[in-house]
Amino acid sequence: MTSDLNGRTVLLTGGTGSFGTAFAGRLLERFESVTIRVFSRDELKQSEMSERFNGDDRLRFFLGDVRSPERLSRAAKGADFIIHAAAMKQVPACEYNPFEAIQTNINGSQNIVDAAIDNGVAKVVALSTDKAVNPVNLYGATKLCEEKLIIQGNAYAAQSRTKLCCVRYGNVVGSRGSVVPVFKRQVRSGRLTITDPRMTRFWITLDEAVELVLFALENTVGGEVFVPKIPSMRVVDLAEAMAPGIPQEVVGIRPGEKLHESLLTQDEARHSVDAGSVYVVLPEHPWWGTPDRWVGASPLPEGFAYVSDTNATWLGAEELAALVT
């Protein structure tokens, strides 16, 4: 990112999570006078995050829930940018508490759109997931709705300076809820559980996820979904990398889980471009106008799809071991 965020204010929802902590740390490293408003529900996590960054006064902690439009609007007042990372992410929790997931992931995203437009926020970047592509569980379905709300929010923002976009990426190495902490716990028991030996996933590090969001923040003109070019991995390779020689038990695919994940479908590819390090999904219904930012990017070939088992780039056991140790 070449833009200077010194003197700017960034509202970071879900700011005490794995991504939020990494993102805040990166901004604090790069920009001496940036202000980061950390917006989240858990006062303990906010206290722990403050301690982690030695009480850095560039961090401002806002207790609140994205479900509350009033509190979110107050937090967005005077902000230049919003990074929306707050979400319910656990698949079983979303299935068991469906309306809770809807209120946070869908209604909360609409509140982000309203707060940004009403407060004149310049840019919004919302975090999505490969689970939003052809979703098979409620979590994925709510993130698909989030994408639609954020992208079409540009239509309501057409008379303002606000531009909204999404980033969409795969599993994050070591984040809460990923398989890495599960495997680390299972190593102590001497047995690893594998859902299916054929299973593949996209893989991205927290640093790469942070850089993707910064890229989107700098380059968006409103309405894009930015998809990074990242490697795939086989779950059995990850298990072998973390616990070589330890017995593996196949337990079967869990409800709401796919054998392989997609980041870009053939249908989306028809209105997407290759922009170098990322694919950019362009809006199908840009009622707010069609800026020429991506005119020079290459259209994707006919029939293109970005799926974890047909990916051109793979991480082997040695590379995975280097990432998770």
* Pairing mode of beta strands 278-281, 272-274: antiparallel
Task: Show the tokens assigned to 25.
Answer: 């740390």
Residue 233, pLDDT score: 95
Q: Is the CB of residue 140 less than 8 Å from the CB of residue 97? A: no
pLDDT tens-digit profile of 115-140?
999 999 999 999 999 999 999 999 99
In-domain check, residue 25: yes
In-domain check, residue 128: yes
In-domain check, residue 2: no
Q: For this structure, is 163 an active site residue? A: no
In-domain check, residue 4: no
Residue 174, pLDDT score: 65
CA 304 to chain centre: 23
In-domain check, residue 3: no
Number of independent structural domains in the chain = 1
* Number of alpha carbons in the 13 Å side-chain half-sphere of residue 65: 10
CATH number at residue 26: 3.40.50.720
pTM over 0.85? The answer is yes
Query: 50 lies in which domain range?
Result: 9-324
Residue 313, pLDDT score: 96
Q: Give the residues of the chain that fall short of pLDDT 50.
A: none
Residue 176, pLDDT score: 64
CA distance 247 to 244: 9
In-domain check, residue 319: yes
Q: Is the CB of residue 77 less than 8 Å from the CB of residue 119? A: yes
Which is catalytic among the residues 89, 123, 131, 258? 131
In-domain check, residue 1: no
In-domain check, residue 232: yes
Residue 148, pLDDT score: 98
